Structure 1
Amino acid sequence: MTLAFAMILDAIFGEPKWLYNRVPHPAVLMGRAIGWADKRFNSGSGRRAKGAFVMAALIVAAAALGLAIAELGNVVTAIVAATLLAQRSLVDHVARVADALRLSTQAGRSEVAMIVGRDTAGMDDPAIARAAIESAAENFSDGVLAPIFWFALAGLPGLLVYKITNTADSMIGYRTPRHEAFGWAAARFDDVLNWVPARLSAIAFAVWTPALNVQELLADARLHRSPNAGWPEAAMAQSLDVALSGPRSYEGEMRNFPFVHPTGRRDAGPAEIDAACQRLWNAWTVTLITVLLGSGIATLI
């Protein structure tokens, strides 16, 4: 029941500003450790080996910290786990894009820029809505279901190992001249840890899609440049009957990505973003029920 308690704590409280204005969020501390390692070791020759060594050290440290915290009892474990789940904060961030878009296109651009990495200056309303919905789908997998999955499988050590890996991937797992070699291990291990959760996320969204086209979902999921992110995105697109992805700009360069669920509506707006937020809660509910059932079965066994 510890995991279910953590999920409910996160859903109720999210990331309280009064707390994190006073103390650093655990993800911030992870980011500082990774940033220090990047500055200290990402130079000279053998960068791929150095990056792999750094990831191994971070993983061992995260697992050891998880074991130590778990010794403090289930309540402390649940509180720490809740700080590393992102359901409430994800919904809040995505919902703010809808609210801003109702005010103006420029307000929508400013708000969506907080949650996506693509260029936002030239976005029209449908592009803003698509970006918010895609972020909702992908971050449910990365920030909600994957941490839950790894906690269920390996307790707090598993959750911390996942979070340090995912944080490292978001900081150094890029194919840039500086990080392509050094961040290789972080990116590959993150792909491995997200493989199952991404597909489970698609199932969680698909539950709310009465006319799900499984063949289309499988085909659309493979269109994404990531081996995992396409799965929740493709399921969300069908669930809302909205075309996602498509052309977008990064660092001034327009990239002609294909549409996911191309037969869906292409005029998405605030209402579709609101519907995506509802799907996030729907999928969270399915996940919570699964966790409770699993906990009950484990107790009986």
Structure 2
Amino acid sequence: MSTAMILSIALTLDALLGEPRWLWNRVTHPAILMGRVIGQADKRFNTGDAAKLIGILVIAALVAAMWCLGWVVSLFGWLPQVIIVAILLAQKSLVQHVQAVADALRISLGDGRRAVAMIVSRDTAHMDQSAVSRSAIESAAENLSDGVIAPAFWFLVGGLPGILIYKIINTADSMIGYRTPRHEQFGWAAARLDDVLNWIPARLTAVLIASTHHGLNALGDIRADAAKHRSPNAGWPESAMARALNAAIAGPRAYDGEMRDFPYVYPNGRRTLGPDDVDAACRALWRTWAAFLAICLVLSVF
């Protein structure tokens, strides 16, 4: 069975089943296992003056381990590959978490703040309804790239080793890829490699969002907005999503009580947002997913 067909089946399974709680209450999710490995590496090796070099060696060892694991599992045929790839994709769970923000906002602003706090790292205690909605939409766009399109893309390119390598690097970036005193050196390799691995998928996600909504005429504007983003990749899907919804997203926000004056993505979009806009973002997630699935099915034929 072709890699594209395996991916098509996995995308469909993930969309149907998502993250079955009954299963993950009994066994440990692979992403959690990856996180534990990275946490132990951080605790054991992130010491001394050679933290940057050691961090590079740790990341190299993790990449090699994932390549070997993926290669071995691939020898057992298409079925274990379908199962593992479906587990490592996050379309349905992403939509559920984003939709939960809209549902909570319809109950109360406090419920909305608590729901969005589950998917963003910024301060949420003083957000108004528009800020909660913007945060959910922004998270939807970024995680569509990181949690669905990017792992799927690297499976297409490198099979099971490709998706495992992507997932462990993306997990490492989320844990140690921050410019903090502890991790600026040790996490350097994880952060830079994550940027490289997400370069094409982020732009592909933007193209998919644009093509399933208002067409590709705005790609030049999307590129210009993305260049202003603090991330080399996240601005692409965010800008495309903002234009699809005619909504200004990102912008100023607080971390640990400190307000940061980040620019808006698509500043000409609407600033007053609510749960209906979060609903629209969820529909955009599914439209983009369907377009990507269609591409995979075409690839599986040829």
Q: Classify the TM-score, shorter chain.
A: over 0.9
**Structure 2 runs not aligned, ≥5 long:** none
**Matched-pair contact (CA < 8 Å) for 2:212–2:291:** no
Q: Which amino acid aligns with 1:275?
A: A
Aligned twin of 1:35: 39
- The reply to whether residue 17 of structure 1 matches residue 21 of structure 2 is yes
Which residue is 1:105 aligned to?
109
Q: Partners in 2 of 1:135 and 1:15 — Cα distance?
A: 18
Aligned to 1:242: 247
Alignment of 1:145-160 (within 5 A): 145-160=149-164
Alignment of 1:53 with 2:94, yes or no, is: no
Residue aligned with 2:126, SS: coil
73, 79, 90: which is aligned to 2:77? Answer: 73
Aligned to 2:293: 288
1:170 corresponds to which letter in structure 2?
Answer: S
User: Does residue 225 in structure 1 map to residue 235 in structure 2?
Assistant: no
**Which AA in structure 1 matches 2:231?**
S
List gaps (5 residues or longer) in structure 1: none
TM-score relative to the length of structure 2:
0.97
User: If the length of structure 1 is used for normalisation, what is the TM-score?
Assistant: 0.97
Residue 218 of structure 2 aligns with an amino acid whose one-letter code is: N
Give the Å deviation of 1:215: 2.7
Amino acid at match of 2:136: A
- Between the aligned residues of both structures, percent identity stands at 59
Cα deviation 1:189-230 (Å, max 9, x = unaligned): 000000000000000100133265233211111111010000
Distance (Å, rounded) in 1 between the aligned partners of 2:150 and 2:126 = 33
Please state if 1:96 is matched with 2:100: yes
| Aligned-CA RMSD value | 0.8
Q: Deviations over 1:221-254 (max 9, x none)?
A: 1111010000000000000000011110011110
The structure 1 segments of at least 4 consecutive aligned residues displaced by more than 4 Å after TM superposition are: none
Mapped partners of 2:196, 2:218: distance in 1: 26
Structure 1 stretch displaced more, 204-213 or 185-194: 204-213
1:69: Cα distance to partner? 1.1
Matched to 1:102, the amino acid is R
Deviation per CA, 1:36-95: give whole Å up to 9, x if none: 000000011100000000000000001111111111110111001100000000000000
Q: Distance in 1 between matches of 2:249 and 2:80?
A: 40
Counterpart code for 1:152: L
* Cα distance between partner residues in 2 of 1:118 and 1:107: 16
- Which residue in 2 is equivalent to 1:270? 275
CA distance in 1, matches of 2:295, 2:212: 15
